[in-house]
Amino acid sequence: MHKRKEVKMKRKIFLLLAICVPFIVSYGQEKSFNDTVFVYFQEIRANASHYKDLWNLDIYGPVLLVDPVSRKIYANLPDTAGTLELTEKIYTGLLPKSINIANTAISWNGRSWAMIMLPLPENRQERLDLMSHELFHRSQSALGFHMSNSNNNHLDSRDGRIYLRLELEALRQALIAPVNSEMNDHLANAIFFRKTRYSLFPGAVTSENLMELNEGLATYTGNMMSGRNDAENTSYFAQRLKEFQSWPTFVRSFAYLTTPIYGFILNRTDKTWNRQISDTTNLTNYFINAFGLTVPVTLCPDCLNKYGSDKIINEETRREEDKVKQIAEFKKIFIGQPHLEIRLEKMNISFDPRNIVPLDGYGTVYPTMRISDNWGILTVTGGALLGSGWDRVTLSEPSIVTADRVSGSGWILELNEGYIVKKDNTGGNYTLLKK
């Protein structure tokens, strides 16, 4: 009799443990992650203070770490609206659906934040690099730099890509040159390739410079605040340059390498060069003067070959042929065939810049993007055409149209009340209208 009671009691205890353990583990994991996030915040705070001489400013400030799946926020400071709650030394809450999740600087609930998507890199140097980059963007206006989103579609053309790749190869060789004279020769040749590109695309002088002042300086800041030493940075940049050569598009990504590498090389002799830069600085001319370069007027075939010119030209010629076919297909989908056009009113947008395709005269095709606006939320996973003036987005023909949800191949539109999608019986296209 006692044994039966003992067995029953053990079963009850086992069942109780089976119910409680998942809760205990879940709670323990949550508490552990909060502790980890708190360490991240302490880490970047101390690091920003350590490197405050970089800009004569401690760029530490409000940070939102956001889980892109659950939209849960982990913040180092409270918002002024009182939405975030203090939990285990950090502030937590949920990011509203109307706000896109991205690595960026945003204004939300009374503060200017650096928003960073989770998970953060496990490597400490990469983690500090990323967080410092976004904290620079948050501090940009205080440093005297405006946000800019310049159009550099010429870097998707055959010649634009050729001369950028040649510039970057010359930069790579300058980076690892054993003596200063050899380094300066490579730097001068890098600028030669840059100036040749500018002669082919005159508007590039301004548009590339704007992107380099924006993303280039942010990336330089992250690199310099990562804690890497000179040898580690040299190795890091050499690897990044190698990877970059095979990236599908350079339109937005070029500035993540050009300014940081010129700047890193210059930092070896002038630790304060970046503090001499303003929002109106022409970085090309600045680097020419700072390095004391004499830029050649032309380069001999042998000089070109040492940067792999034949290989680069052959690769870019083949790419151009494939791109012509791709552009023709996109024009058919977004222009020639029935499609949905949406006017942007008060949009908030996030996108992947690594595989975009410019359509001259129409805008740029983004493979993925998320737009929240007065009319609702658009999620794109299969491509959309964003107009040149960022005033409209064009989607393939809708396959399902309901009162609150419209979808097509690779996209979903969640409509707010007061908006409707209608088909134009004359042209066959669809438009988004207010009821």
Q: What is the mean pLDDT of the chain?
A: 91
Angle made by CA atoms 89, 93, 97, in degrees to the nearest 5: 155
Q: What is the average per-residue pLDDT within 132-138?
A: 98
Q: Determine contact, residues 104/137, Cβ cutoff 8 Å.
A: yes
Q: Is the pLDDT of residue 13 over 80?
A: no
What is the average pLDDT across 254-267? Answer: 97
pLDDT band at 353; cut points 50, 70, 90? confident
* Domain segments of the chain as ranges: 14-139, 153-307, 321-434
- Over residues 198-219, the mean pLDDT reads 97
Integer Cα distance of 228 and 124 in angstroms = 10
Tokens encoding 131: 């967080």
- Secondary structure (3-state) at 422: strand
- pLDDT tens digits for 291-345? 999 999 999 988 899 999 999 999 999 999 999 999 999 999 999 999 999 999 9
Q: What is the pTM of this model?
A: 0.86
Helix or strand holding residue 123 (H, E): none
46-87 pLDDT per residue, tens: 999 999 999 999 999 999 999 999 999 999 999 999 999 999
Find how far residue 207's CA is from the centre of its chain.
Answer: 17
Tell me how many degrees the CA angle 269-219-151 measures, rounded to the nearest 5: 120
Note the pLDDT tens digit of each residue in 164-198: 999 999 999 999 999 999 999 999 999 999 999 99
Cis-peptide, bond into residue 260, ω within 30° of zero: no
